[in-house]
C-alpha cells in the first residue's frame, strides 16, 4: 500500500521548552502531527514507561522563575579614546586595574558573579589571578588543587588554554591545559584547566565534591547550556547546601560565574544574594542598520553575502564578522564570496586601498565548532595590510571567542538550536532547528563591531521583529533539549535516587530554571526503553551505569552495548568513533570525515570518490568501510589525500576508538541477549552493525512517504516552532515540511540515492530543509520489535507495532 500524502495537522501538545520558543512568534501555527496519528499510520504504537505519571500531570513547566527577572538595562560606557592597537597585552585589559578588588570579593564570598564585555579579560585573566594569589594558591594543598574554567564550547576551551599557556610562558598541557571530550591535555602538573562544561560534569560523576579543585569558574553562564545549568546546581549544593536542607560539603570551594550579558541578577538571586562584580566596558558606539529580508534574495545566506559585498565596496577599513547558522551555511557563503571575490577586486573603482596602496582584498575565514585546529588559529591572527578579514561564524563568535579588529557585523538573527519536540503519545524527537536568536544575543552580536573602534551592525531583520518577536533571553537548553544524558548522569552520581525524584523537585537539587517536565518524562521513557532505568522505581540499572561510563549520547552508548551481543563490537566502535569526530560543538555532529574541496573540478572528483565509498546499508557501514581501508593502508596520510578523506578526522577517530575500546574492556562481555534469533542474528556483518544501531536509535525510526510528490520520510514529531513567517519572510517552504513532520535524507548520506522504505537516523538537522543525517537502513520491520521490545511489538509478519499504553 502506498503511504498517504502528508497534510498538516494541529498539535495538541508540545514540549514546554519548545512552546516557549513558539511563544515568541505570535502567529506561528502549530502544524505538528501528533504522535498518536503517526502511530496509526504506521501501525506502530508505543508504551508508556511504568514510572510515568498520568498524562494530565505532564506538560506544565515550572519556569515562573525564569519570567520573574527583568534585567535593568545598563548601557556600556562608550569611551572615545581611540584604540588602534588590535591586540591588548594582558597589562591593559579592562579587568587589570580591578584585580585586587575582585580577589578580595572572591575571598569574602563563596560565589561571585562577574559581568563584563567580551574581551575584558575574564576568561584569560581571572584563573591566573586566582592562581597567583596565596589566599587561593593551590600549591598549599596536598595534593595541589586546580583552578577550573568551564566553556560551553570545545573551540573556546582549546583556544583560550593556548593563549593562557603562552601568557604564562609554559607549554600547553603542563601548568595550563585543557580537557575536552576524548582529548585531555592536562597533567599532574596542571594548575589551570580549561574544560568544556560537559567534561567537568563527567568528572563530577566520579567525584561530586569537585575535590580536585580549589576554585571553579563557570564561564559564559548566560548561554545556559544544559551542562552549565547542571554544574551550577551541583556547585550550589556543594557550597551553599542542598535544597533539602543538606549541609554544604565544600564550604572552601570558590565559585565564579561569568556572564557577558547583563542578566546577573538572576544568577545572584540563585546563589542567595551573591555579589555582582561589574567590569566597566571598553566599547565604542555601534550603528545599527536594519535590512530585513525581502523577496529577493529570500535566502539569508545570499543576503548575508550581499551585505558583505556592500560593506566591502564602501571601502572603509575594518574586518567583517558574519553570523550564520552552521558549517554548511558557512561553506555555502564562503563559496559564494570566493566566486565573487574576483568581481569585487576587478570592479574595484571604489578606491578600496590598503595603507600601502594595494587594493583591499577580502580574506574569508570560516569559524565553527568542528573546524580544524589550524583554521581556528587563523581567525585570531591579524590580517596582512591589504586583506580585509571576513569571518563567517556560528554562535561561537558571539562571546566565547574574542576577535579583535572587527568593525562590521552582519547578523542574520538566526542560530541553530537544539529543540526537543515531544508529542502527545509520549517521546519525541530532538531537532537541530534554525531559529531566531534572542534580543540579548542580538545585542551581544552587535557589540562585536565596537570593540576596537566605532562600528556598524547590519541586521537582516526588522526593528519590529527585534522588538516584538524575539525573546528577551534565550530559552535555557534544559527547557528545550533532550535531557536524557543529564538524567542518567545525575542518577549515576547518586545526587538523585530515582529519576522520578527529578519530576517532583526532590533530590536536593535546586535549579536555576527547572527542566521542563515533558522533557524529563520523555527522557525517562527513552532511558527506560534503552534499559538504563528499571521501570517501576526509575532507578539506574547496571546497563545504565555502563552507559553513563561511556562519554557518549545514551543512544550511541546503547549501540556499543548492543554490539557486544550482536558480535560486531569492532565495527560498532569504529562507526561510533567516526560519528563522534567533529561532534560536541554548538551544532551537534556536522563534522564530516570527507573533504569538500572548494575548487569545482576537485569538488566533482571528490564527489565521485565519495560515491564509491557509499554503502547501500547506510552511513555506519560507509564509515567502517573508509576506516578499514585507511587501517589497511597502515594509517597512511597519503591514502587520505588520495581518497578525499580528512587525515585529522581519521586520526581523531582512531584516538576516540581507542578510548572507547578501553572503557568497554573494563567489563566482562555478554551483558544480555537480543531477541530470539530470527532476522538479525543470522545476518551478515553489515546487518549486525545496522542492528546494533537500530537497537540504539530505534526511537528515531522514519518511514518513506510521498510529500508534495517527492520522496520523503515521516518522523515522529514535528517542531513546535512550525512556521516562522513573521520574522523572516520567504522561509516558509522549508518550515512547512518540518511542521508536517516530514524530513529528507541528507544529500551527503549513503542512502540519499538509494532510499529504503524504513530507516533509523541519528540526527535531524534543519538547513535548507529538515534533513536526516547518519541514516541506517532497517531491512526488516520486525527488527524494531526484536531489538526494542520495550518500544515496539509484532503485530503481524510485516508490521511491528508500537506497544499500546
Ligand atoms: O573573557 P573575555 O571575553 O572577558 O576576554 P578574554 O577572552 O580573556 O580576552 C582578553 C584578551 O585576550 C582579548 O584582547 C583577546 O583578544 C585576547 N585573546 C587572544 O588573543 N586569543 C585568545 N584565544 C583569547 C583571548
Ligand atoms: Mg570569555
pLDDT digits (tens, 9 = 90+) for 604-616: 888 888 889 999 9
Q: Is 123 in the pocket of ligand 1 (CB under 6 A)?
A: yes
Q: Is 122 in the pocket of ligand 1 (CB under 6 A)?
A: yes
What pLDDT, on a 0 to 100 scale, did the predictor assign at position 296?
53
Q: Is 318 in the pocket of ligand 1 (CB under 6 A)?
A: no
Tell me 98's DSSP state. Answer: G
Q: Which residue has the higher pLDDT, 417 or 61?
A: 417
CB of 791 closer than 8 Å to CB of 699 = yes
What pLDDT, on a 0 to 100 scale, did the predictor assign at position 352?
52
CA distance 421 to 699: 13
Q: Is 118 in the pocket of ligand 1 (CB under 6 A)?
A: yes
CB of 721 closer than 8 Å to CB of 21 = yes
C-alpha of residue 126 to centroid of ligand 1, in Å: 11
Nearest CA to ligand 1 atom 10: 121
Nearest CA to ligand 1 atom 8: 121
Please check the confidence at residue 455 and state whether its pLDDT lies above 90: yes
> Which mutation among 90, 154, 163, 405 tests ligand 1's pocket best, with the greatest number of atoms within 8 A of CB?
163
Q: Which residue has the higher pLDDT, 739 or 57?
A: 739
Give the dihedral sign, CA 238/240/246/252.
Answer: positive
What are the Cα distances from residue 560, in Å, to 199, 313, 552, 613? Answer: 21, 54, 10, 23
Q: Is 380 in the pocket of ligand 1 (CB under 6 A)?
A: yes
Tell me 97's DSSP state. Answer: G
What average pLDDT does the chain have? Answer: 78
C-alpha of residue 277 to centroid of ligand 1, in Å: 19
Helix (H) or strand (E) holding 270: helix 264-270
Q: Is 401 in the pocket of ligand 1 (CB under 6 A)?
A: no
Q: What is the CA radius of gyration of the chain?
A: 26
What pLDDT, on a 0 to 100 scale, did the predictor assign at position 781?
86
CA distance 407 to 319: 6
Residue 760's pLDDT band, with cuts at 50, 70 and 90, is: very high
CB neighbour list of residue 56: distance below 8 Å, 6 or more residues apart: none
Tell me how crowded residue 201 is: count the other CB atoms within 10 A of its CB: 22
What pLDDT, on a 0 to 100 scale, did the predictor assign at position 183?
92
pLDDT digits (tens, 9 = 90+) for 287-296: 999 999 875 5
Output the furthest CA–CA distance in the chain (Å, rounded). 78
Nearest CA to ligand 1 atom 16: 402
Tell me how crowded residue 57 is: count the other CB atoms within 10 A of its CB: 11
Q: Is 160 in the pocket of ligand 1 (CB under 6 A)?
A: yes
CB of 476 closer than 8 Å to CB of 27 = no
Q: Is 124 in the pocket of ligand 1 (CB under 6 A)?
A: yes
C-alpha of residue 356 to centroid of ligand 2, in Å: 34
Q: Which residue has the higher pLDDT, 796 or 279?
A: 279
Ligand 1, atom nearest to 159 Cα: 23
What are the Cα distances from residue 49, in Å, to 496, 520, 595? Answer: 19, 12, 43
Question: Using alpha carbons only, what angle is made at residue 492 by residues 665 and 667, rounded to the nearest 5 degrees?
Answer: 15
Nearest CA to ligand 1 atom 24: 160
What pLDDT, on a 0 to 100 scale, did the predictor assign at position 582?
56
CA 186 to chain centre: 24
Ligand 1, atom nearest to 120 Cα: 4
Average pLDDT over residues 93-108: 95
Residue 356's pLDDT band, with cuts at 50, 70 and 90, is: low
Q: 3-state class of 271 per DSSP?
A: coil
Complex ipTM: 0.98
Is the preceding peptide bond at 143 cis, omega within 30 degrees of 0?
A: yes
Please check the confidence at residue 546 and state whether its pLDDT lies above 90: yes
CB of 720 closer than 8 Å to CB of 21 = yes
> Nearest to residue 421, comparing CAs of 7, 9, 16, 56?
16
Q: Is 151 in the pocket of ligand 1 (CB under 6 A)?
A: no
C-alpha of residue 120 to centroid of ligand 2, in Å: 8
C-alpha of residue 449 to centroid of ligand 2, in Å: 16
The region of weakest confidence among 243-257, 502-516, 629-643, 757-771 is 502-516
Ligand 1, atom nearest to 118 Cα: 3
Where do the H-state alpha helices sit in 152-298?
A: 154-167, 197-206, 226-240, 264-270
Q: Which residue has the higher pLDDT, 349 or 623?
A: 623
Give the number of whichever ligand sits closest to the CA of residue 223: 2
Nearest CA to ligand 1 atom 21: 163
* Percentage of the chain modeled with pLDDT above 90: 43
Average pLDDT over residues 699-728: 64
C-alpha of residue 403 to centroid of ligand 1, in Å: 8
C-alpha of residue 335 to centroid of ligand 1, in Å: 29
What pLDDT, on a 0 to 100 scale, did the predictor assign at position 26?
24
Instruction: Compute the residue count for the chain.
Output: 805
Please check the confidence at residue 558 and state whether its pLDDT lies above 50: yes
What are the Cα distances from residue 695, in Å, to 490, 572, 750? Answer: 24, 12, 20
Is the preceding peptide bond at 297 cis, omega within 30 degrees of 0?
A: yes
Question: What pairs with residue 365 in β-bridges?
Answer: 391
> Nearest to residue 279, comparing CAs of 96, 88, 84?
96
Average pLDDT over residues 297-321: 87
C-alpha of residue 139 to centroid of ligand 1, in Å: 26
What pLDDT, on a 0 to 100 scale, did the predictor assign at position 327?
85
What pLDDT, on a 0 to 100 scale, did the predictor assign at position 36?
21
pLDDT digits (tens, 9 = 90+) for 484-527: 999 999 999 998 888 888 887 766 788 999 888 888 988 998 99
Ligand 1, atom nearest to 162 Cα: 23
Give the number of whichever ligand sits closest to the CA of residue 403: 1
C-alpha of residue 73 to centroid of ligand 2, in Å: 21
CA distance 208 to 214: 14
**Residue 712 grid cell:** 520523503
Q: Is 120 in the pocket of ligand 1 (CB under 6 A)?
A: yes
What pLDDT, on a 0 to 100 scale, did the predictor assign at position 425?
55
Q: Is 404 in the pocket of ligand 1 (CB under 6 A)?
A: yes
What pLDDT, on a 0 to 100 scale, did the predictor assign at position 423?
62
CA distance 590 to 579: 9
Q: Is 163 in the pocket of ligand 1 (CB under 6 A)?
A: yes
> Nearest to residue 392, comparing CAs of 319, 285, 444?
319
Ligand 1, atom nearest to 125 Cα: 8
What pLDDT, on a 0 to 100 scale, did the predictor assign at position 585?
39
Please check the confidence at residue 82 and state whether its pLDDT lies above 50: no
Q: Strands of 678-786 (E only): list them.
A: 701-707, 710-714, 742-745, 758-766, 770-777
C-alpha of residue 399 to centroid of ligand 2, in Å: 6
C-alpha of residue 124 to centroid of ligand 2, in Å: 7
DSSP string, 386-402: TEEEEEEE-GGGTTTS-
Tell me how crowded residue 473 is: count the other CB atoms within 10 A of its CB: 18
CB of 628 closer than 8 Å to CB of 653 = no
CB neighbour list of residue 444: distance below 8 Å, 6 or more residues apart: 118, 260, 261, 398, 399
Helix (H), strand (E), coil (C) string for 465-501: HHHHCCCCCCCCHHHCCCCHHHHHHHHHHCCCCCHHH
What pLDDT, on a 0 to 100 scale, did the predictor assign at position 709?
79
C-alpha of residue 323 to centroid of ligand 1, in Å: 19
Measured torsion, CA atoms of residues 167, 169, 172, 177, in degrees rounded to the nearest 10: -60
**Residue 754 grid cell:** 538509494
Give the dihedral sign, CA 298/299/301/306.
Answer: negative
> Nearest to residue 286, comparing CAs of 121, 399, 451?
451
Q: Is 402 in the pocket of ligand 1 (CB under 6 A)?
A: yes
What pLDDT, on a 0 to 100 scale, did the predictor assign at position 343?
54
C-alpha of residue 211 to centroid of ligand 1, in Å: 28
Question: What pairs with residue 712 in β-bridges?
Answer: 705
Give the number of whichever ligand sits closest to the CA of residue 116: 1
Amino acid at each position: 500500500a502506498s503511504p498517504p500524502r502528508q497534510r498538516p495537522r494541529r498539535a495538541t501538545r508540545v514540549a514546554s521548552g519548545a512552546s516557549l520558543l513558539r511563544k515568541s512568534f505570535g502567529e506561528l501555527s502549530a502544524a505538528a502531527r501528533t504522535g498518536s496519528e503517526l502511530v496509526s499510520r504506521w501501525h506502530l504504537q508505543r508504551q508508556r514507561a511504568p514510572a510515568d505519571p498520568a498524562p494530565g500531570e505532564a506538560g506544565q513547566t515550572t519556569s515562573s522563575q525564569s519570567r520573574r527577572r527583568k534585567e535593568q538595562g545598563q548601557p556600556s560606557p562608550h569611551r572615545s579614546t581611540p584604540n588602534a592597537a588590535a591586540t591588548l597585552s594582558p597589562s591593559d585589559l579592562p579587568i587589570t586595574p580591578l584585580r585586587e578588588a575582585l580577589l578580595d570579593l572572591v575571598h569574602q564570598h563563596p560565589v561571585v558573579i562577574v559581568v563584563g564585555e567580551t574581551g575584558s579579560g575574564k576568561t584569560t585573566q581571572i584563573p591566573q589571578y586566582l592562581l597567583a594569589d596565596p589566599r587561593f594558591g593551590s600549591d598549599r594543598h596536598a595534593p595541589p588543587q586546580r583552578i577550573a574554567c568551564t566553556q560551553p564550547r570545545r573551540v573556546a576551551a582549546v583556544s583560550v588554554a593556548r593563549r593562557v599557556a603562552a601568557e604564562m610562558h609554559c607549554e600547553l598541557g603542563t601548568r595550563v591545559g585543557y580537557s575536552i571530550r576524548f582529548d585531555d591535555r592536562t597533567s599532574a602538573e596542571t594548575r589551570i584547566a580549561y574544560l568544556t562544561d560537559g567534561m567537568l560534569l563527567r568528572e563530577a560523576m566520579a567525584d561530586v565534591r569537585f575535590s580536585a579543585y580549589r576554585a571553579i569558574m563557570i564561564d559564559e553562564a548566560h548561554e545556559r547550556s544544559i551542562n552549565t545549568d547542571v554544574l551550577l546546581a551541583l556547585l550550589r549544593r556543594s557550597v551553599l547546601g542542598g535544597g533539602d536542607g543538606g549541609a554544604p560539603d565544600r564550604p572552601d570551594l570558590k565559585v565564579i560565574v561569568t556572564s557577558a550579558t547583563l542578566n546577573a541578577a538572576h544568577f545572584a538571586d540563585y546563589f542567595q544574594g551573591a555579589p555582582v562584580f561589574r567590569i566597566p566596558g571598553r566599547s565604542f558606539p555601534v550603528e545599527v542598520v536594519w535590512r530585513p529580508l525581502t523577496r529577493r534574495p529570500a535566502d539569508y545566506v545570499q543576503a548575508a553575502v550581499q551585505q558583505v559585498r556592500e560593506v566591502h565596496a564602501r571601502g572603509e577599513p575594518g574586518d567583517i564578522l558574519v553570523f550564520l547558522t552552521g558549517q554548511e551555511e558557512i561553506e555555502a557563503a564562503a563559496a559564494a564570496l570566493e566566486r565573487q571575490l574576483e568581481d569585487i577586486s576587478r570592479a574595484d573603482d571604489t578606491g578600496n586601498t590598503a595603507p600601502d596602496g594595494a587594493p583591499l582584498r577580502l580574506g574569508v575565514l570560516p569559524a565553527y565548532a568542528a573546524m580544524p585546529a589550524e583554521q581556528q588559529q587563523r581567525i585570531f591572527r591579524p590580517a596582512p595590510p591589504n586583506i580585509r578579514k571576513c569571518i563567517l561564524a556560528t554562535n561561537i563568535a558571539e562571546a566565547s571567542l574574542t576577535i579583535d579588529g572587527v568593525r562590521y557585523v552582519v547578523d542574520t538573527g538566526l542560530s541553530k538550536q537544539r529543540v526537543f519536540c515531544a508529542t502527545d503519545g509520549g517521546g519525541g524527537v530532538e531537532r537541530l532547528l534554525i531559529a531566531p536568536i534572542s534580543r540579548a544575543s542580538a545585542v551581544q552580536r552587535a557589540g562585536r563591531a565596537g570593540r576596537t573602534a566605532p562600528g556598524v551592525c547590519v541586521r537582516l531583520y526588522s526593528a519590529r521583529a527585534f522588538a516584538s518577536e524575539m525573546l528577551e533571553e534565550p530559552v535555557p537548553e534544559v527547557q528545550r533539549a533532550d535531557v536524557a544524558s543529564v538524567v542518567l548522569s545525575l542518577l549515576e552520581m547518586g545526587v538523585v535516587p530515582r529519576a522520578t525524584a527529578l519530576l517532583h523537585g526532590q533530590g536536593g537539587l535546586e535549579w536555576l530554571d527547572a527542566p521542563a517536565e515533558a522533557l524529563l518524562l520523555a527522557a525517562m521513557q527513552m532511558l527506560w526503553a534503552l534499559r538504563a532505568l528499571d521501570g517501576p522505581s526509575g532507578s539506574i540499572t547496571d546497563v545504565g551505569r555502563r552507559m553513563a561510563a561511556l562519554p557518549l549520547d545514551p543512544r550511541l552508548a546503547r549501540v556499543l552495548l548492543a554490539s557486544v551481543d550482536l558480535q560486531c563490537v569492532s565495527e560498532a566502535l569504529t562507526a561510533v568513533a567516526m560519528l563522534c569526530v567533529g561532534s560536541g560543538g554548538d551544532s551537534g555532529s556536522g563534522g564530516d570525515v570527507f573533504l569538500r574541496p572548494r575548487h569545482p573540478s576537485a569538488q566533482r572528483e571528490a564527489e565521485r570518490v565519495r560515491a564509491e565509498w557509499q554503502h547501500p546499508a547506510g552511513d555506519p557501514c560507509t564509515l567502517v568501510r573508509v576506516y578499514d581501508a585507511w587501517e589497511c593502508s597502515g594509517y597512511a596520510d597519503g591514502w587520505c589525500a588520495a581518497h578525499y578523506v580528512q587525515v585529522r578526522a581519521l586520526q581523531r577517530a582512531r584516538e576516540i576508538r581507542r578510548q572507547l575500546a578501553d572503557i568497554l574492556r573494563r567489563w566482562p562481555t555478554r551483558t544480555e541477549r537480543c531477541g530470539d534469533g530470527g532476522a538479525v542474528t543470522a545476518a551478515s556483518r553489515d546487518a549486525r552493525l545496522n542492528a546494533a544501531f537500530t537497537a540504539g536509535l530505534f526511537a528515531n525510526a522514519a518511514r518513506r512517504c510521498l510529500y508534495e510528490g517527492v520522496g520523503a520520510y515521516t518522523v515522529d514529531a514535528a517542531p513546535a516552532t512550525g512556521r516562522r513567517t513573521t520574522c523572516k519572510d520567504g522561509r516558509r517552504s522549508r518550515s512547512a515540511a518540518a511542521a508536517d513532520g516530514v524530513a529528507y535524507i541528507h544529500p551527503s548520506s549513503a542512502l540519499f540515492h538509494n532510499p529504503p522504505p524504513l530507516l533509523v537516523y541519528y540526527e535531524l538537522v534543519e538547513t535548507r530543509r529538515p534533513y536526516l543525517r547518519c541514516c541506517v537502513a532497517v531491512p526488516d520491520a520486525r527488527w524494531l520489535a526484536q531489538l526494542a521490545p520495550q518500544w515496539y511489538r509484532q503485530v503481524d509478519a510485516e508490521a511491528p507495532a508500537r506497544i499500546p499504553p
